[in-house]
Chain A
């Protein structure tokens, strides 16, 4: 008789539902309960690098912005190090590189302030272009969607990025590149995510 492998199965995902804010951002649900909500300050006070703002919307298959979405952001610091023992090196005291962001209930707009990450080491050799890792959950999304945001002012690094180059259809790579603009002297990157349609954003099975 063959031996059974003793592995467990990953728990199945279920939608975060419309009331995800109660658990992960209770202030937005309409009440205060915790000493501090997590994920509001992505970088801490000591982060090096360029201060930036990122804004966007998540747009559904009807072309409407999703107004009850929650995103999490995971990023390296300006040196390209993640705040993790396997993250590639030291980070500044207080730098976590993780953020939790919700869309506005009326407009679907979201935004957050952070620092621009550096290039990170590649899987085998070389480097990955600076990017933010995004994880998107909402009512109607059965399992969190993973995608990445790259920076329009990093054209050369983007052209050499091993992940962007995995995308067979060159015209789809642009769905992951946020456009840099400026507002009041601050760089603002615009990143709209489209869940369906001709310009559907690239999502990753990580």
Chain B
């Protein structure tokens, strides 16, 4: 008989290190001493859980969740959908997925964003949902625009949607970004390039999903998210009380 144990050790060879000089802001914001490696205790294998009383059904529809009645945001209508899985390829059900993004012109609805492109009066730019029992989630939104940022003088972010996911334990907590297949800005983005592994970058690139596209309505992109998996442990004395 087995029971779930601790999470697999995080594979740091595919994760961005803290110190990445090409992304200048990381220089002063990166710890320099080695992290202390911690075998998971109850503090790491547990994490917050969310339910349908926390969010509303329309929170995952960015086409309508901030638009005036009868209006819609400007931009290419898309569906972003996929599954949250763990490293054992098992779905992660009922977990909270939150997203945020710029509008179709590359402008964020944020008091600190001063980019020239205009705010869209019908677009808030955030959404959230819970995965279903198969780990599946979807959002309706517009494809975000590329935008310039201060790093080197002429850096542009590829179109991207920021994604936050929980999982079942606090050790799985993850924030990442979803890119779009075919974007020529991906390989030259200093933030993308903090990731040391090409396969890991491809895993963050949503693929055009023609089968999920709604004819005459919206183009679909598929984006699966993988969280850390847990060991199945035999009843071991060493895990007493775990």
Contact = CB atoms under 8 A, between A and B. Distances in A.
Interface string B99-111: 1100000001111
Interface string A1-26: 00000111111111111111111101
B42 A141 contact: no
Given A83-B49, A87-B46, A140 B26 contact: yes
Q: What are the 5 closest A-B residue pairs judged by CB atoms, nearest first?
A: A23-B100, A140-B25, A98-B48, A84-B46, A140-B29
Interface in A25-68: 26, 29-31, 33-36, 38, 60-62, 64, 66, 68
B41 A196 contact: no
Nearest to A7: B87
Given A62-B28, A142-B194, A143-B18, A19 B38 contact: no
7 contacts: A13-B176, A15-B175, A22-B110, A23-B98, A122-B41, A123-B242, A140-B27
Contact of B46 (A7, A34, A82): A82
Contacts of B23: 15, 140, 142
A12 B204 contact: yes
A7 B226 CA distance: 10
B2 interface: no
Nearest to B39: A123
Interface in B176-210: 176-177, 191-192, 194-195, 197, 199-201, 203-204
Interface of A: 6-24, 26, 29-31, 33-36, 38, 60-62, 64, 66, 68, 72, 74, 76, 82-84, 86-88, 96-98, 105, 120-125, 128, 131, 133, 135, 137-146, 148, 162-163, 166-167, 172, 195-196, 200-206
A142 B196 CA distance: 12
Contacts of B201: 12
Given A16-B175, A206-B44, A34 B56 contact: yes
Given A9-B11, A203-B36, A128 B100 contact: no
A110 B133 CA distance: 36
Interface residues of B, number: 91
A88 B31 contact: no
Interface string B154-186: 000000001010001011011111000000000
B34 to A, nearest CB: 8
A9 B43 contact: no
Contacts of B171: 146, 206
Given A87-B42, A203-B35, A205-B35, A9 B203 contact: yes
A11 B226 contact: yes
Contact of A22 (B14, B46, B65, B108): B108
Interface in B85-130: 85-89, 96, 98-100, 108-113, 124-126, 128
Given A12-B204, A17-B162, A23-B100, 17 more contacts: A7-B87, A13-B176, A16-B175, A23-B164, A30-B109, A98-B48, A121-B42, A121-B241, A124-B242, A128-B42, A133-B44, A143-B16, A163-B38, A196-B31, A201-B31, A204-B37, A206-B44
B100 to A, nearest CB: 3
A10 B10 contact: yes
Contacts of B25: 139-140
A131 B44 CA distance: 12
B218 interface: no
B15 A143 contact: yes
B136 interface: no
A12 B241 contact: no
Contacts of A30: 109-111
Q: Which of A12, A22, A23 has the most CB of B within 10 A?
A: A12
